[in-house]
Amino acid sequence: MKLTEEQIAAFRRDGFLLLRGFTEASRVAAIRTAALEQIAERMPPVETEGEYAGADNPTLRRLRQVYGRDPRFRAWMTDPAIRPALAQLLGETPVLTLAHHNSIMTKMPGRSTETCWHQDRRYWHFENDNLLSVWLALGEETAENGVLEFIPGSHRLDFAPERFDAKTCFRPDLDENAQLIATKTRFDLYAGDVVLFHCRTLHHADANRSQEPKIAFVYTVRGMENHALSGTRSDAYPEIVLT
């Protein structure tokens, strides 16, 4: 799939782009089935809500390192259909990095926590910021169950370090941050929808207040000339060139 000039311009302006119904229903169902099987077995490596929030909460938050778990996951992450769009936005050949994201994300009913406003680049170590993430909805995502929210244009802004807390969350208690957060936007997602977003785009998700789990798939690609810094976590895992 190739993006239109209007879509490319929208991504450059906003820092995110929604692709409605990108993935066919049968494929989404197969990926979701595999994800639910591993969620039920709690197959490691995983992250819990407690690990994320620094509390005693063993609720599952994500399945990590999913590329090697199931061929249905690998096939989606290396899907040739999306590569032209990724190359257009990166301006060069995309490279799948397995160090970051590479996850099935969950928000379980009852004990899920809010995801703070943040930029993904906060814990990544690359030569530059030419990275974007691919988010695949595996079911409906709404305000009730913790849909992603974005601050348009935030990827083009430079922030002083003090506008983030010790966990690199964007501080809503600061007036200048609160004014920016007030410009947030969201859109309901449905199974098969894809959102592409820049590594500097501020985003957030509320806790799941529904009675059903919210499940999504996310992976990250870099531009081929944007190398991981040696000796960092970003350089510690294999990568796949998506030619």
How many structural domains does the chain have?
Answer: 1
Q: Residue 111: its pLDDT value, please?
A: 86
Q: What is the CATH number of the domain that holds 235?
A: 2.60.120.620
Q: Residue 54: its pLDDT value, please?
A: 79
- Cα separation, 152 vs 154, whole angstroms: 6
Length of the chain: 243
Q: Residue 173: its pLDDT value, please?
A: 98
Q: Residue 64: its pLDDT value, please?
A: 97
Per-10-residue mean pLDDT of the chain, 243 residues long, equals: 97 98 98 96 93 88 97 98 98 98 96 95 95 98 97 98 96 98 98 98 97 97 98 96 96
Tokens 């004014």 correspond to 179
User: Sign of the C-alpha dihedral, residues 3, 35, 199, 96?
Assistant: negative
Tell me if the pTM is above 0.85.
yes
Domain around 41: 5-241
